[in-house]
Homo-oligomer: A and B are copies of this chain.
């Protein structure tokens, strides 16, 4: 018995299924381009073995532990560290058994599809995970992880990753990236410029962060012009380490285009910690426009992904800290929010902005119509909760008719779960091929064109959009 159906995610009707299979056969072996993600550059720099199955697949994956938590399993039982350093489960095998006993909870979810892909393709297991098979799984995976061919660089090569981006703060020295480069290893690991800690007046330690930015760059970040110069300087530093994009995850898509004098005054208040919530929001909006202005010169592609209410549960934030599965999407307005930036630079062909959404109702209503006319805008793929078969299908069905394929940017996986990268790209390739096959079978696309588009969506558009 196999965990994976070889025709999974293809349309059910025979003719379209056949077309999907043919399209997929052509793209399944293409290299992986992963231009947006959160793997740890240290893995590639040090190339140490991953510690154990639970540390690899359970404890760091918020998709996995949030589902278990939703059914009453404490995060402590899954080894998730507490902010107060209090005790959490340290025995990987015990954590693994909790996953195994509760694996039925993941029925119908992409997490199960990704995990089963890892189990079968990476570790060669073909029995379903359950209480009964828990220890067999644990032993098998542990054995594998001890072998050299399961170290990060070997996996990177086995996964056929052509390039992967990590995401770092401007305050990060990028030492791991330098170490990777110095090692002579051929794997291409680049960084991306994620300036929240020095852009968001409400980020913990904002003023200190800006001061550090000044020290690192040798600019006087107490003044607005020095602060902007420091960004330019630091962006150049990141670009020298391969960065081709910046990454912005504000709560809303708000942008501003105020005068430099007004911006300078707001910056002063931000440093002094006297911004109101509204002023802090306006400052973040202004900084998106400033980042766009810098992109005109240095060519960094901007990624904007608004709409997440971060760390929704106050007690969970207090007990376990950020990023514990409590980021919840909210309604997002793009049309009014982006107008100041777009009025300033939106029709400049030098600017490239990749827009992501967490509010699917905006796909057909706002995102596709905007990307279908502004030369600076492209649509990022369905991501986060929507990095899933149904999410991807709805994305194509709601954006293609207005924005076409060529105002989208292919797929990016956005993951910290390294082993799931091939699984996620495989799902995207299957779903896109299935969608294209449906268009062909219903007379909306010629078959030869579908082959070209399938290749573009699986490989070429991501490279082009991210300037890789």
Contacting pair A12 B442 (CB below 8 A): yes
A113 interface contact, C-beta 8 A: yes
Contacting pair A12 B316 (CB below 8 A): no
A451 to chain B, nearest CB (A): 12
Contacting pair A328 B370 (CB below 8 A): yes
* A390 touches which of B11, B342, B359, B397 (Cβ 8 Å): B397
Provide the residues of chain B in CB contact with A365, threshold 8 Å: 329-331, 358-361
Q: Quick one: CB contact mask for A1-43 with B, threshold 8 Å, 1 for yes?
A: 0001111111111011000000000000000000000000000
Count, chain A residues at interface, CB 8 A: 91
Q: How far is the CA of A330 from the CA of B361 in the complex (A)?
A: 10
Q: How far is the CA of A76 from the CA of B443 in the complex (A)?
A: 33
Contacting pair A336 B313 (CB below 8 A): no
Provide the residues of chain B in CB contact with A360, threshold 8 Å: 361, 364-365
A60 to chain B, nearest CB (A): 16
Q: Quick one: CB contact mask for A106-148 with B, threshold 8 Å, 1 for yes?
A: 1111100100000000000000100000000000000000000
Contacting pair A316 B347 (CB below 8 A): yes
A237 interface contact, C-beta 8 A: no
Provide the residues of chain B in CB contact with A333, threshold 8 Å: 330-331
A50 interface contact, C-beta 8 A: no
Provide the residues of chain B in CB contact with A313, threshold 8 Å: 342-343, 346-347, 374
Contacting pair A389 B401 (CB below 8 A): yes
A339 interface contact, C-beta 8 A: yes
Given contacts A70-B407, A312-B342, A335-B330, contact A9 B443 (CB under 8 A): yes
A360 to chain B, nearest CB (A): 6
Nearest to A340 among chain B residues (CB) is B314
Contacting pair A329 B109 (CB below 8 A): no
Nearest to A309 among chain B residues (CB) is B335
Q: How far is the CA of A153 from the CA of B32 in the complex (A)?
A: 56
Q: How far is the CA of A373 from the CA of B315 in the complex (A)?
A: 13
Contacting pair B405 A373 (CB below 8 A): no
Nearest to A370 among chain B residues (CB) is B328
Contacting pair A343 B314 (CB below 8 A): yes
Provide the residues of chain B in CB contact with A361, threshold 8 Å: 331, 359-361, 365
A439 interface contact, C-beta 8 A: yes
| Residues 360 to 389 of chain A near chain B (Cβ within 8 Å) | 360-361, 364-366, 368-375, 377, 385-386, 388-389
Contacting pair B312 A400 (CB below 8 A): no
A272 interface contact, C-beta 8 A: no
Q: Quick one: CB contact mask for A65-76 with B, threshold 8 Å, 1 for yes?
A: 011011110000
Contacting pair B444 A366 (CB below 8 A): no
Q: How far is the CA of A104 from the CA of B460 in the complex (A)?
A: 15
Contacting pair A400 B453 (CB below 8 A): no
28 CB contacts below 8 A, A to B, read: A12-B15, A66-B373, A67-B372, A70-B371, A71-B406, A71-B407, A108-B401, A108-B404, A108-B439, A108-B445, A109-B401, A109-B402, A110-B401, A113-B444, A128-B446, A309-B335, A313-B343, A313-B347, A330-B336, A331-B331, A331-B333, A359-B361, A369-B385, A385-B402, A388-B402, A389-B442, A390-B398, A390-B401
Interface residues, chain A, with chain B CB atoms under 8 Å away: 4-13, 15-16, 66-67, 69-72, 104-110, 113, 128, 309, 312-316, 325-326, 328-331, 333, 335-336, 339, 342-343, 346-347, 349, 358-361, 364-366, 368-375, 377, 385-386, 388-391, 397-398, 400-407, 438-439, 441-446, 449, 452-453
